[in-house]
Structure 1
C-alpha cells in the first residue's frame, strides 16, 4: 500500500504539478526521511479525495514513519500486522523478518529470551572500507567457503597476489559463500597452520534452542566446535596469510534448499515455533526461522530465504518460502539438485518461443539428405551456455548404452 501511494504520488506530481502533494526538502532532512514524509502526504491526499468509504492504509516497517503517520491521523500498520489481519496464518511464514532498525520487537512474534551478548563485530561502513582499500589496510575479494569444512574460507586478493585464509565463524563475521568482502590481515604471528581446525570455542553453541532429532533427514550435522593440532608440538607459522572479514561489499544471499531441525513448541506462543533450517549445502550456516506450520514442515525439503544476520545472533534470520516435497522422494531430491545448481527449469518465455518456426513444422527432405548434418532428434540434448547468452552453440548429451557404459556427446557449433 505504501509503495502504491509512493508511486502514484510522483506520477501525480509529475503530470499535474499539484501543490497539495508537493513535498519540499527540509534543512537537515535525510533523503529517506523526505521520502517517508512524501508517502505520508500522498496517503493523506488519497484519503481526503476518496472519502470515508475507502480506507487508505500506509504499510511500513519503519518504526519512526509508522509513529509519525499515526500522530498525523493516518491508518498505519507494519507488514506483519497487516498480513495477520488477513486471517491466513500460512502467509505469516512468508513475511520477511524485520531488522533491528525497523519495527520494535513488540511488533514481532519473537518469543526468544533477550540476547545481550555481542557475538560478531559490526561491519565497517562503506566509506571506511573504501578508504581502507585505497590505503592497503583492507583487501577485497570473493569469499569461498570450504565445501568440506564450513568453518574455513578463502578470499582471493589481487592486492597481495595470494589467497587469504579465514578461519572460524567469528572471523568470517556473518559473510556467506560468494559474498564480496573486505578483509584485514591478522598479525603474522597468528598465521598458524591448523590442519584440523574446525571452529573457535563456543562458536556453534546452540542459541536458545533445544533441537529435537526427529527428522528423517540426514542433514542435521554435528557442529560441536573443537580446535586441535596434530601432535603435541605448537602449530607452525603458515606462509599463507590469515585474515578476518571487516565488512561486506556485496551480498550473495540466495534461497536455500534443506530441512528443519524442529524445536519444542514454546508455551503461550500462539502456534509460533522457532526452528533452525539446515541447508543441503554444508557451506551455508544454519538459518533461524519462525513458522506456524511446524508439523507440516518436518521431514520435508523446503526453501528458505535469508533476511538478516544481527551481531547478537549466532545464526542468520530468514523466512520460509515454499515446500518442495518429502525428504528422500526422487522428484523432490531432483528438484533440490536443480535449485542448488541454479538450473532454470521454468517454461520458455513467449519471446523465446517466437524465435522458433511456426507450427506445424517438419524437417525438409533436403535437410535429411544433407550428408554434413546428423539427425539427433532421438537424443536428449541440452545447452550449457550461460544465462543471457545470445549465441547458444554449446550442448551436451548423455546416453546409457546397452553394455552399461555412458556415451557423452559434446556439441559445439
Structure 2
C-alpha cells in the first residue's frame, strides 16, 4: 500500500511494543500472554483468558484490539479498575470495602508498587500481581476486567486461510464515476477506491479487508474488467498480508476461487481450506514406506510377542467403518474374575520415527470425518488394510489385559505387544442385538474355531462388566453430558433429504468403557516411566463465570443444581433428568446449557507443566491421568503414546533377570515404587529405551502436543461446518421447515432460541422491524411482541433502515379470511403463534428455518417466528 500518499494518512492504531519490551513486561507481570478470541455476534468484542484468572478479559473496540485477529497470540495490558465493565446479566452490587488495599478507583492492577523484598524474583513479582488481580475479580464479581492489545506475539494461522466474497459493485461504480470525470477533461487523481476492492470474510469474527486490484489472479482480473457481476457469487480464498497503523482495514491477497458459493463442492473445499485440512493424495515417498501387499507378519515378530490367535477377539465399530483399530476379548477365570483384553492395532510398527510416512502423519495429525467420506491421517493401504484389524487375518497389536473382579476392581494387568486374529467384525447394531438376545447372524461371517454362541456370550459378559465399571466411574465423580446428535439421511444424489436425532446404545457405552480404561492405564504407565516426556490429555475445570450462569438459570426455573464438583454436577443432572421425564425438550435445553461452561480437553507434555501433576487431571472423567492410546490409525497422538509404551516395555526387558519382579511392580504393574523407578539402573535402561524408540524430549513433545491440539480443533470445525452445510442444503430443498423452539434468552433487541428438531441455537432480532412492536418489561423479563402494520416509526436517534416483517416472521392468517396460503399439511401438528405474543424464558414458540446465503453471502440457518395475525389479510 506504499503507493498511496502516506503523508495524508494519520495513524489509526497505536504502534506495537517491541518484543524486548514485551518479554520484559511479561516477566514482570505488567502484561499477559493470551489467545485473542472474537465474539462471533459482535466483532468489536473480544476476550482473552489469563491463566489463573477465573474470568476472561474483555478487549472492546478497534483501538483496544489494535489490529489483532481471531486466534492471534497477543500481549495484553489490563486496564485500571475504573475502566472495568459490568458483567453481562449481573445485577450484583460491588463490595467497595472487600479489598484491603483501599480504593480501587483508577488503580492500575499491574503497577509495580516496589514493595517486594530485595532480591525477589520476577516470577514472585508476577505472581503477586496476578494474585492482586484475582483478589479484585473475587471482590467484585459483577465487574469484568478490560484490557488492550499492546503487541502480537504470534500471528494466527487463520490469517492465511480466510474465505469470503469480493464486493465488486462499489468498485465498478467508482470506476464508472472516474471515467465520466475523465471524459469531462477533469484532472483525476489516483483514487484508493479504484485501486482496492473490498473483501468480506464468511467468518464474522474477521474484519472487512481490502484487496489490491492489481494483485488479483488473472482469471478474476479479467472477469472484473469485463464487469462480470457473477464474480460477487464466487467463494474466494485469501490471506491477510499486512495491517499497518495507518489503515482501518487489513490488506488481503486473493489466492484463488473455489467456485460459486451456492455449490456443495465449493463449500466443502472452502471448509477444508479454512481449517488447513489436507485433502490431497499422500506423497509417493510416504506410500513407499508401507510394505507391499500381500504381506505376512515376519517370523521374528512371533518370538517377542504374545500369541493371542486362539483367543476369541472381535471388533465393534460403526457399520461403515473400514479403519478398525480396536478389538475386545473376555475370558472367565475361577473365583468370578473376568480377564478382559483391549487389543489396539500396532500402527507404530509400520510408522517408524523420522520417515516420510511419520512426517506426513504428524502434519495431518488426525483423520477428518465428513458426512459422506473421510480424509485419513494414514494412507488407506495402511489404515484400511495392513494396520486394520480385519477379521480372519493375523494382525500385530498392542494389548492391555486386565483381571477384573465382580465389583469392577482391577486385580492384575498385563501390557505387551501381541499377534491376534479377529474372529468377526460387528457393528454397534449387531452388538446391541447380542445384548438384547435378538441377533440374526444372517449375512455375518465368523472366522476360526469359534461359534456365534462364544461371541454372544463374550459380548454379554463385556456388557455386564462395562456396566459395573461405568457405575464406579460415576461414583468416583465422572460427568456425562450426553445429548442427541444430528444425523442426515442422504439421497442417491448425495444431498440430504431428512435428518434424525441419534442417541447412543448400550453397545456404544460397552466399547467406550474399555477404551477409557485402556487410555487411563496407558497414561499411568507412561507418566511413571517418563514423567517429563509423557504425552497426556487433560480437561480443565469449567469456566466459573459460565457455571454460575448455569446455576442461575436452574435456580430461576426451580431446578436445584450443585456444581461444586463434577460428581455433584452429574448427580444433579441425573436427578433433574428424572424430574423432567415428561419434558424432554426442557432437559435438552438444560444439557445444551451445561456444555457451555466446559473447556476443551487438550494434549500436553508432562514435563512442560511445572505444577507436578496438579493440573494434569481430566475433569469430565474425574481421573488424575489420561491419554489417547486406542486409535492410532486416526490420531497421531496415539502413535506417540505407543512408542513411549514400547520404550517402557523395552526398559523392563533390558533389566537384569533378578530385578524382573521389581520392574513389573514399577513400570507396567499395578503397584508403584517411586524410589525403585528413580534408581540409577532403572533410569539408565529407560534412557536407552527412549533413544531406541525415539521418545521425544520435553520441548519437542510440547510442540507435538500443540500441533495435535490445533489439528483436533480444526477437525472439529470441519465437522461442525459440514453439518451446517448439509442442514443448509436440506432446508434449501424443502419449501417450508417448521419446528418448535424454546426461548433461551430474551431482551429488548433479540431472543435466543433452541430449535428442538435441529438441536441448534439461533437468534431472532425484532428491533426496528416495520410493523412490529417489541415491549420489553425488564422487571419481569417479559417480552410482548405485536404486529401493527401501520407502525413505521424509528427508535429515537436511529438512522438505520427498518427491516421488513417478513425478515423476522413467516406470517399466516386465519383460514376463513384468505383462501390462498402455503401448503402446511406436513406441519399440521405445529400451529402458528397468534399476535400479540407474551414471551418469557423457556416459552415454547413455533419457528420456521430458512437457508441463508450461498451465492450471495456466507451460508447460515436463519430462524423466523411462525405467527398469525388478523392484520395480515389487510396487507396481502
Relative to structure 1, the CA distance from residue 391 to residue 280 in structure 2 (aligned partners, 3 Å threshold; closer, same or farther) is closer
Counterpart residue number, 1:264 = 171
Does 2:208 match 1:302?
no
Give how far 1:379 is off.
2.2
Provide the C-alpha distance between the structure 2 equivalents of 1:134 and 1:331, rounded to a whole number of angstroms: 49
* Correspondence for 2:265 among 303, 327, 331: 331
* Conservation of the 8 A alpha-carbon contact between 1:383 and 1:393: no
Q: Secondary structure at the match of 2:23?
A: helix
Provide the C-alpha distance between the structure 2 equivalents of 1:347 and 1:275, rounded to a whole number of angstroms: 35
Relative to structure 1, the CA distance from residue 283 to residue 131 in structure 2 (aligned partners, 3 Å threshold; closer, same or farther) is same
Give how far 1:393 is off.
9.0
Q: Deviations over 1:144-199 (max 9, x none)?
A: 11222221111111265642111112111000111111111112111122759xxx
Relative to structure 1, the CA distance from residue 325 to residue 131 in structure 2 (aligned partners, 3 Å threshold; closer, same or farther) is same
Give how far 1:280 is off.
1.1
Counterpart residue number, 2:21 = 128
Counterpart residue number, 2:605 = none
* Conservation of the 8 A alpha-carbon contact between 2:315 and 2:324: no
Counterpart residue number, 1:182 = 75
Give how far 1:400 is off.
5.9
* Correspondence for 2:281 among 315, 339, 347: 347
- Written as runs of structure 1 = structure 2, the 5 A alignment for 1:142-157 is 142-157=35-50
Provide the C-alpha distance between the structure 2 equivalents of 1:164 and 1:400, rounded to a whole number of angstroms: 39
* Conservation of the 8 A alpha-carbon contact between 2:161 and 2:275: no
* Conservation of the 8 A alpha-carbon contact between 1:383 and 1:395: no
> Relative contact order (C-alpha < 8 Å, sep 6+): which is higher?
1
Per the normalisation by structure 2, the TM-score is: 0.27
- Written as runs of structure 1 = structure 2, the 5 A alignment for 1:359-370 is 359=293
* Conservation of the 8 A alpha-carbon contact between 1:142 and 1:180: yes
Counterpart residue number, 1:191 = 84
* Correspondence for 2:208 among 286, 298, 323: 286
* Conservation of the 8 A alpha-carbon contact between 1:380 and 1:397: no
Relative to structure 1, the CA distance from residue 178 to residue 388 in structure 2 (aligned partners, 3 Å threshold; closer, same or farther) is farther
Provide the C-alpha distance between the structure 2 equivalents of 1:396 and 1:334, rounded to a whole number of angstroms: 12
Q: Secondary structure at the match of 2:239?
A: strand
* Conservation of the 8 A alpha-carbon contact between 2:286 and 2:360: no
Counterpart residue number, 1:245 = 149
* Correspondence for 2:10 among 92, 114, 117: 117
Provide the C-alpha distance between the structure 2 equivalents of 1:400 and 1:243, rounded to a whole number of angstroms: 44
Q: Secondary structure at the match of 1:157?
A: coil
Unaligned stretches of 5+ residues in structure 2: 90-139, 179-187, 215-220, 297-308, 326-358, 372-486, 491-497, 516-629, 632-876
Give how far 1:325 is off.
0.5
Number of residue-to-residue matches in the alignment: 264
Provide the C-alpha distance between the structure 2 equivalents of 1:327 and 1:401, rounded to a whole number of angstroms: 23
- Written as runs of structure 1 = structure 2, the 5 A alignment for 1:219-238 is 238=142
Provide the C-alpha distance between the structure 1 equivalents of 2:368 and 2:261, rounded to a whole number of angstroms: 32
Counterpart residue number, 1:379 = 320
Give how far 1:375 is off.
9.4
Q: Deviations over 1:313-336 (max 9, x none)?
A: 110012111111011111101111
Q: Secondary structure at the match of 1:344?
A: coil
Counterpart residue number, 2:529 = none
Provide the C-alpha distance between the structure 1 equivalents of 2:323 and 2:151, rounded to a whole number of angstroms: 40
Relative to structure 1, the CA distance from residue 391 to residue 370 in structure 2 (aligned partners, 3 Å threshold; closer, same or farther) is farther
Relative to structure 1, the CA distance from residue 330 to residue 370 in structure 2 (aligned partners, 3 Å threshold; closer, same or farther) is farther
* Correspondence for 1:171 among 64, 69, 72: 64
Q: Deviations over 1:257-308 (max 9, x none)?
A: 1101223243377996411111111111111101252346321001111111
Relative to structure 1, the CA distance from residue 376 to residue 244 in structure 2 (aligned partners, 3 Å threshold; closer, same or farther) is closer
Does 2:248 match 1:314?
yes
Give how far 1:356 is off.
3.4
* Conservation of the 8 A alpha-carbon contact between 1:382 and 1:395: no
Provide the C-alpha distance between the structure 2 equivalents of 1:377 and 1:149, rounded to a whole number of angstroms: 40
Relative to structure 1, the CA distance from residue 322 to residue 380 in structure 2 (aligned partners, 3 Å threshold; closer, same or farther) is farther
Q: Deviations over 1:26-83 (max 9, x none)?
A: xxxxxxxxxxxxxxxxxxxxxxxxxxxxxxxxxxxxxxxxxxxxxxxxxxxxxxxxxx
Relative to structure 1, the CA distance from residue 178 to residue 184 in structure 2 (aligned partners, 3 Å threshold; closer, same or farther) is same
Q: Secondary structure at the match of 1:151?
A: strand
Provide the C-alpha distance between the structure 2 equivalents of 1:391 and 1:304, rounded to a whole number of angstroms: 22
Give how far 1:134 is off.
2.2
Q: Secondary structure at the match of 1:325?
A: strand
Per the normalisation by structure 1, the TM-score is: 0.53
* Conservation of the 8 A alpha-carbon contact between 1:189 and 1:237: no
Provide the C-alpha distance between the structure 2 equivalents of 1:187 and 1:129, rounded to a whole number of angstroms: 19
Provide the C-alpha distance between the structure 2 equivalents of 1:400 and 1:370, rounded to a whole number of angstroms: 38
Give how far 1:404 is off.
6.2
Provide the C-alpha distance between the structure 2 equivalents of 1:288 and 1:308, rounded to a whole number of angstroms: 10
Provide the C-alpha distance between the structure 2 equivalents of 1:113 and 1:393, rounded to a whole number of angstroms: 46
Relative to structure 1, the CA distance from residue 170 to residue 374 in structure 2 (aligned partners, 3 Å threshold; closer, same or farther) is same
Provide the C-alpha distance between the structure 1 equivalents of 2:311 and 2:210, rounded to a whole number of angstroms: 60
CA radius of gyration, larger in: 2
- Written as runs of structure 1 = structure 2, the 5 A alignment for 1:63-82 is none
